[in-house]
Amino acid sequence: MDPVPVDVLLIPPITVLVITGPNTGGKTVALKTAGLLVLMAQAGLLVPAAEGSQVTILKSVFADIGDEQSIAESLSTFSGHIANIVGMERSLSLPALVLLDEAGAGTDPVEGGALAMAIIEHFRQRGAMVVATTHYDALKSYASTTAGVTPAGFGFDPQSFAPTYRLNYGAPGSSLAFEIGNRLGLPPSILERARAHRGERETQLADHLARIERDTQALEHERRLAAREREALEETAARLRARDEELKNREATFRRRMDERIEERLREARREIDAVIERLRVRTETMATQAERAARLVPTGQSGGARAEARAAIDSIGERLRRSVDTNARGDQPAAARPPVEALPPPAIGDRVVVGALGLEGIVQALHDRDAEVDVRGKRLRARLDDLRVVSTGPGAPARVRVNVDLQPRSGTVTELNVIGCHVDEALSRAEKFLDDAVISEQRTVRVIHGYGTGQLRRAIAGFLQTHPLVAQFSSAPAEQGGGGVTVVELKD
């Protein structure tokens, strides 16, 4: 048979443990185990106990275990026990541990039980920790009803009455004298006569303890099942958490890569657009110089042709940008992982959609014949209608970044932008378009009115202007022109 571990627990405020149970059930072994492990710890030896176990450092350890009768010293079994206890009481030095096996045994059960209870209570009152074994009902009642004292009983199989050697805390155990006598071969006639001599109170108590033992066994079985289920659930939850964390990390890495690529493509597109605008500016200046020398106006066809060429170049840049982003998005994800295309109603302006097989979400800003302009986290992309899947309908959030170059002739000049009352995203979007318009209209100095407020708009505008390729420098306006509530921007030539 495999060894069965035993837990001897004296956890404050509990200072007394009364162990009960059947004969040959493990009571004396538990008592010896407690004393041996304490002395091993005192000697600095490794203790065979579970991780987290604690042992108190003691000044004295006393044990009264076994039969101490002696003819030479005229000591009976009872006298031997009393002599030991007297010696313990005289030599007690706290902190102390007192081990009493079958306390009060060897005399009248009623008087022995009362005496054992008084001895245990005496040592408890003096501050010692006590572990005692007993079969006395008086001690079982004492352990179940006294503060600072806990009962524990060794279990048994309710069918065969064989001991399980497991110590169950919270309820006393039954002695099972009749059942063990039957297992050891005592004649049935003797057992029947003994049951007839047993009083009604003792019979009821034995039945009650047997019922408690059955309930304890059932609860222990349910506890083990629940513990296994809990361990399985915790393992499953841990696997799911790890999988979820892995998916989140992969998604974050993927989105970061896409953001970096989109930002790079936008920077390249912006540089190309700046070059187109610069060529258009040089060309218009050349035409204006030539017209001035010839003392005539610039022909409408020439100016219109220049604008048309510039617009065509910018449209080509936008188309290349869209195709580049879409190609990279499709190439980063295996075809098997792409979500199936569903037959859904065509998207409308303001709908939230998923772009392509990549799963990027955005807001539809404009619709064309077969394409749509979608704002994806502040980036304006053009995508085919077939590649869009509607997530939700209704007006979406405004785009944070807009690239909008208008080459149509303007009736006047734009030198001032008022963003007071706007959200940061809306203010930056308007500032982007405002600077593009100012460059087309050949303005070199413009003003952005953002007010004082909390300073959030002013800081956001400053950060935006600091990295803008068209801005040469910027500063707060003079005090008589608005001071810190207005930013004056000088654009590059």
> Mean pLDDT of residues grouped by 10 in the chain (493 residues)?
83 89 81 91 89 88 74 59 86 91 78 86 92 85 86 74 78 66 73 66 61 71 86 90 89 84 80 80 74 57 61 70 65 46 68 70 85 79 80 56 42 72 87 82 86 87 88 89 89 81
Give me the DSSP letters along 206-257: HHHHHHHHHHHHHHHHHHHHHHHHHHHHHHHHHHHHHHHHHHHHHHHHHHHH
Find out whether 446 and 438 touch, Cβ atoms under 8 Å. Answer: yes
Same domain, 130 and 22: yes
DSSP H helical ranges for 338-420: none
Same domain, 26 and 93: yes
Q: How far apart are the first and last CA of the chain?
A: 95
**pLDDT the model gives residue 207:** 63
d(CA 203, CA 194): 11
Same domain, 427 and 382: no
**pLDDT the model gives residue 337:** 45
In a domain, 148, yes or no: yes
**Positive or negative: CA dihedral 471, 476, 479, 483:** positive
Do you know the residue count of the chain? 493
Same domain, 387 and 486: no
Same domain, 405 and 487: no
**H or E element in which residue 445 lies:** strand 445-449
Same domain, 138 and 117: yes
Burial 125-144 (b: 16+ CB within 10 A, else e): eeebbbbbbbbbbbbbebbe
Q: Dihedrals φ, ψ of 24, to 5°?
A: 60, 20
pTM, two decimal places:
0.41
Q: Which one of 168, 198, 228 terminates a domain?
A: 198
**Positive or negative: CA dihedral 385, 389, 390, 395:** negative
Find out whether 158 and 214 touch, Cβ atoms under 8 Å. Answer: yes
Q: Which one of 359, 389, 409 terminates a domain?
A: 409
CATH number at residue 111: 3.40.50.300
In a domain, 458, yes or no: yes
SS3 76: coil
d(CA 97, CA 130): 6
Instruction: List, edge to edge, every strand of the sheet that includes 471-476.
Output: 416-418, 445-449, 486-491, 471-476
Cis peptide leading into residue 13 (ω within 30°): yes
Same domain, 469 and 349: no
**Positive or negative: CA dihedral 131, 135, 138, 144:** positive
d(CA 91, CA 62): 9
Residue 487 pairs in a beta bridge with 448, 476
In a domain, 290, yes or no: no
Quote the domain boundaries for residue 397: 340-409
Q: Which one of 409, 440, 465 terminates a domain?
A: 409
Torsion of CA 116, 118, 121, 123, to 10 degrees: -80
Question: Maximum distance among all alpha carbons in the chain?
Answer: 147
Count of domains forming the chain: 3
d(CA 489, CA 493): 13
Same domain, 148 and 178: yes
CATH number at residue 387: 2.30.30.140
Nearest CA-CA partner of 432 in 404, 412, 455: 404
Residue 373 pairs in a beta bridge with 366, 382
